[in-house]
Amino acid sequence: MKGARLMTTLTTRILLSLLILTAPTAFAAPREVPATELKTLFQPYASVSELDVDFRQTKTIRGLKTPLKSTGHLKVRQPDLVEWTVLKPSYLQARMQGRKMTLTTGQGENQRTQAVPESETGSLSALVAWMRFDVEQLAKDYTVTELGSNWYSFAPQKPESAPLNKIDVELGPERKLKTLVLHEKSGDRIEIAFESPKVKNKK
């Protein structure tokens, strides 16, 4: 009986010790990231001239139990070309060059392309700075907070005119962009996971 009590006491002390040791990390307060540090975080992209990367997207809609999932491909060509292409479940491409954006739906004989007014680009336009890795523009548009464990939160400095409440970012190995989580004003949530990047650096 005494042996059982001793084991229980030792186990409790060990668990408490571990909890105390890990508490500062687990419950660390968010820290605001200055613009100079932001440039360091995204330094791997400073020399990128071309990027091709696949993505998996999951959209969770308020009131809808089953999330909407899609897969696609992102192409970036500096200085100002971005192509965001959804391949499944149906084809949709948003092509941005400079301040112009077009949307293409369908393929073959059913393909349709139309220009999109800047006022109607919504959440996608908020991602342009991300897709182009424009650190200076990100620093101007967002207040950046470190959440811990390679996660950062970007809150718009002008929330009244921003299409999103915030963007959460996870950086993977070598500080490569791994995950984007978009929090829309409607309460919907879009998580975008990037994989298999192919990068070409500036000469």
Band of residue 124 on the pLDDT scale cut at 50, 70, 90: low
By C-alpha distance, which of 85, 117, 123 is closest to 101?
Answer: 117
First-to-last C-alpha distance (Å) of the chain: 74
**Cα–Cα dist 131/74, whole Å:** 8
Mean pLDDT of the chain: 78
Average pLDDT of span 130-159: 84
Which of the 8 DSSP states describes residue 67? Answer: P
Work out whether strand 112-115 and strand 100-105 pair parallel, antiparallel, or are unpaired. antiparallel
Domains of the chain: 2-201 (2.50.20.10)
Residue 2 has pLDDT above 50, yes or no: no
Whole-model pTM: value is 0.73
Can you list the pairs that 29-32 forms with residues at least 24 positions away whose Cβ atoms lie under 8 Å?
30/145, 30/146, 30/147, 30/148, 30/153, 31/145, 31/146, 32/143, 32/144, 32/145, 32/146
Please check the confidence at residue 175 and state whether its pLDDT lies above 80.
no
| Residues 164 and 123 sit within 8 Å (Cβ to Cβ) | yes
Over the stretch 140-154, which tens digit does the pLDDT of each residue have?
Answer: 888 999 998 889 999
Residues 6+ apart with CB under 8 A from 95: 81, 82, 83, 84, 101, 102, 103, 104
Distance from C-alpha of 100 to C-alpha of 96, rounded to nearest angstrom: 6
Distance CA 14, CA 134 (A): 47
Average of pLDDT values for 184-194?
Answer: 91
Rounded CA-CA distance 185/163 in Å is 7
Average pLDDT over residues 46-59: 88
| pLDDT per residue as tens digits for the range 8-25 | 443 333 333 333 333 333
50's tokens: 């071309």
Mean pLDDT of 25-52: 76
Report helix, strand or coil for 201.
strand
